[in-house]
Structure 1
Amino acid sequence: MSVSLTDWEKKAKEAQKANKQFLQKMQTRKGKGAEKHLPELHDEAFAQIDCLQCAGCCKTISPRFKTPDIKRISKHLGLRESVFIETYLRLDEDGDYVVKRSPCPFLGPDNYCGIYDVRPGDCHNYPYTDSYDFFKRPNTTLLNSTICPAVYYVLERLKSIIK
């Protein structure tokens, strides 16, 4: 089955209920063997999707900035950690450091990341389409399906494979 990425945002919103049910089913069945398909589907999705054409993640959500991320990025920017935090970050409702506002302050007008080589771990791993985290956090995956075309693509392909 081929997945059309034309109007994927609209289709992702329309598929929210079905996707939520599918992800809940996958979580209760510990992936039901679906995780073995993720690396292949991840590669398939990114063979068609250029993140630089989208940057939806950087424009709408924030990664968590963990202590090693803060240390690494502060050093890269030549800032004291406290100055980096004060300038760019805030604590969210879960007690995690996130960017103060969207889009990410490190996103350039060309959709390139200004700190790509030292980006936070969450950015490096996003959109989690190649790991069991895809099923482990169904609410996050559901949200990501409306932000990232790769997540939408992988979900649609999985639903056609796993009955």
Structure 2
Amino acid sequence: MTASKDSLNLELFNIESKSEFPTNKKLKERLRKVKPKKLDEDFENLHDKVFESLDCLECANCCKTTSPIFLQTDIDRLARVFRQKSSEFIDEYLHRDEDGDYVLNSSPCPFLNSDNKCLVYEDRPKACREYPHTNRKNIHGILGLTLKNTLVCPAVFKIFQQIGKEYRK
């Protein structure tokens, strides 16, 4: 995929990421055999490299298509921002998903501005702060999530493409 800070085609990304998903699924299984520390290092290095050329504000596909999980601390913090009780914030913005986690009622995120900036950026949920999770420790433990994120985040897709060059051999 050819993506740079000045050109990101989400339609093309959606087509490419879906067509590569079966290959990436096989790659995920091969990555389970890689030593955890080595895999963490490889992902972190690629994360840094990919984000030199990708700008989240050009994309915001994660905010447009998925919901983070809201922890109680996130709910309490955002309720204070909006001068609401936590229960009012939940009633207005959230519901429990099939796993019992609090998630947004709808997509795109109601806190996403038209310029792709987050209205609550300084107070955003932990899951948003850590997204796309490609520079954290224990990638082994989240390979399933990372694979799913190849369909959401062009950076994760690109990281998988790059890591695949080494581990598909």
Same fold (TM over 0.5): yes
Which whole-Å CA distance do the structure 2 matches of 1:156 and 1:37 have between them? 12
SS for the counterpart of 1:48 is: coil
Aligned to 2:42: 37
Aligned to 1:79: 84
Contact kept, 8 Å, 2:58 with 2:116, in 1: the verdict is: yes
Aligned length: 161
Show structure 2 runs of 5+ residues with no match.
4-8
Aligned to 2:129: 124
Which whole-Å CA distance do the structure 2 matches of 1:158 and 1:141 have between them? 12
Which whole-Å CA distance do the structure 1 matches of 2:13 and 2:140 have between them? 21
Aligned to 1:98: 103
Which whole-Å CA distance do the structure 2 matches of 1:42 and 1:29 have between them? 18
Contact kept, 8 Å, 1:45 with 1:150, in 2: the verdict is: yes
SS for the counterpart of 2:108 is: coil
SS for the counterpart of 1:90 is: strand
Aligned to 1:4: 2
* CA separation of 1:74 and 1:48: change in aligned 2, threshold 3 A: same
Show the 5 A alignment for 1:42-81: 42-81=47-86
Q: Note the alpha carbon deviations across 1:9-54, whole angstroms, 9 max, x for none.
A: 3221111111011112222545472221122211111111111111
Within the alignment, does 1:148 sit opposite 2:146 as a pair?
Answer: no
What is the letter of the counterpart of residue 4 of structure 1? T
Tell me the percent identity.
37
Which whole-Å CA distance do the structure 2 matches of 1:114 and 1:22 have between them? 37
Greater mean deviation of Cα atoms: 25-34 or 104-113: 25-34
Greater mean deviation of Cα atoms: 140-149 or 150-159: 140-149
Aligned to 2:94: 89
Which whole-Å CA distance do the structure 1 matches of 2:124 and 2:159 have between them? 24
Which whole-Å CA distance do the structure 1 matches of 2:108 and 2:34 have between them? 36
Cα RMSD (Å) = 1.8
* CA separation of 1:17 and 1:27: change in aligned 2, threshold 3 A: same
Which whole-Å CA distance do the structure 1 matches of 2:54 and 2:47 have between them? 10
Show structure 1 runs of 5+ residues with no match.
none
Contact kept, 8 Å, 1:135 with 1:141, in 2: the verdict is: no
Which whole-Å CA distance do the structure 1 matches of 2:108 and 2:156 have between them? 20
Shift of 1:90: 0.4
Greater mean deviation of Cα atoms: 90-99 or 36-45: 36-45
SS for the counterpart of 2:32 is: helix
Which whole-Å CA distance do the structure 1 matches of 2:21 and 2:137 have between them? 20
